[in-house]
Amino acid sequence: TDRKKLHTAPVGQVFRLRPFHVLVATGGGYAGYRKYEDYKLEQLEKRGIEVPVKLASEWEVALYKSVPTRLLSRAWGRLNQVELPTWLRKPVYSLYIWTFGVNMKEAAVEDLHHYRNLSEFFRRKLKPQARPVCCLHSVISPSDGKILNFGQVKNCEVEQVKGVTYSLESFLGPRISTEELHFSQAPPGNSFQQQLVTKEGNELYHCVIYLAPGDYHCFHSPTDWRVSHRRHFPGSLMSVNPGVARWIKELFCHNERVVLTGDWKHGFFSLTAVGATNVGSIRIYFDRDLHTNSPRYSKGSYNDFSFISNNNKEGIPMRKGEHLGEFNLGSTIVLIFEAPKDFKFHLKAGQKIRFGEALGSL
């Protein structure tokens, strides 16, 4: 009679599965499977074996999107802000350094105890001499990373990796007013690509740079240009590693991104920072009104902000190599710009590149 009674819930309540839990479990399991497939593809590429392109079906993309990556990314962001005890900092950061091959000798502060939380460690600054800016070439790499693709834009399609494309108009969004960008009005009926080219004889070029988790996470201005406009697309936060980029068509159009547009000495110029899983936070230093990875957004929506005003007719001038923004982890930067036909890239697909090194020149 003195024994305590143990109250148990009915078996039906214990094993009750909610639709949300099913989606998370199924989507998460499938995402893990895709990661394993990506690993196998990377091993084949290292051995020089060409891998045929196999695109995801609509249901596979929908299943991947069912994973609450935006929620997980916000949770990851909050975790990154938690201050670590001094005694725990070195073991945690050392594990990250070993896992992703981080070169701390380039960091402005090499002492791991200096970084109070993971966020500070991810956004670490480099020594001034660690990344000399190339002065001989007109366009430099805005960040550390891996070159996924580059070349001329053709038929309003841009390659995210070899053989997998996305729509130029879907990626950049509708044409911005010509008055704002100081461009002449394109003749009616021209394609979206032709409307971006402002000077006769010029072509439209692109370059895609993937930032891995171990890379330097800040990005800089790739040339001397003026930023006139910012367009923010809320969206998914799927992984943008090369394996997923090869698998999902128009991946960059699905994901959250910040498009900066303006002009340089040869015409149209744009830099787009693409978000990814655990990289919901994209920061542009001169844009205090930008807030990414908000809890709620309308599918397919975007918001515009103009840096042209009555008091500022020129926008935001950027010098080559100047600090522009940062990611919270790793992600992707896409450059789309206008240049004369004799512009040449000094790159190879798949090569590693560092901020300040040459992308191309006339």
In a domain, 234, yes or no: yes
What is the pLDDT, as a whole number, of residue 140?
94
Q: Is 7 a catalytic residue?
A: no
Answer positive or negative: Cα dihedral of 244, 247, 250, 254. Answer: negative
Burial class (CB in 10 A: 0-12, 13-18, 19+), 309: exposed
Helices vs. strands in the chain: H and E counts, helices first: 11, 17
What is the pLDDT, as a whole number, of residue 34?
53
Query: What is the three-class DSSP state of 70?
Result: helix
In a domain, 96, yes or no: no
Catalytic residue from among 66, 119, 138, 144: 144
In a domain, 323, yes or no: yes
Alpha-carbon distances of 252 from 133, 194, 248, rounded to whole Å: 28, 21, 9
Q: Is 331 a catalytic residue?
A: yes
In a domain, 74, yes or no: no
Burial class (CB in 10 A: 0-12, 13-18, 19+), 122: buried
Q: Is 141 a catalytic residue?
A: no
pTM of the predicted protein model: 0.81
Split into its structural domains, the chain has a count of: 1
Catalytic residue from among 220, 229, 254, 266: 220
In a domain, 94, yes or no: no
What is the pLDDT, as a whole number, of residue 318?
95
Per-block average pLDDT, block size 10, for the chain (362 residues)? 51 48 52 60 63 75 81 80 91 90 90 90 86 89 92 87 83 73 55 88 93 88 95 86 81 90 95 82 90 78 88 89 86 93 90 93 86
In a domain, 97, yes or no: no
Question: Dihedrals φ, ψ of 174, to 5°?
Answer: -55, 155
Backbone angle region of 21, left / alpha / beta, with phi > 0 → left and psi within -120 to 50 → alpha: alpha
In a domain, 275, yes or no: yes
Chain centre distance of CA 153: 19
In a domain, 132, yes or no: no
Domain enclosing residue 158, as ranges: 139-174+189-361
| Residue 174, amino acid | P
Tokens 């929506």 found at = 301
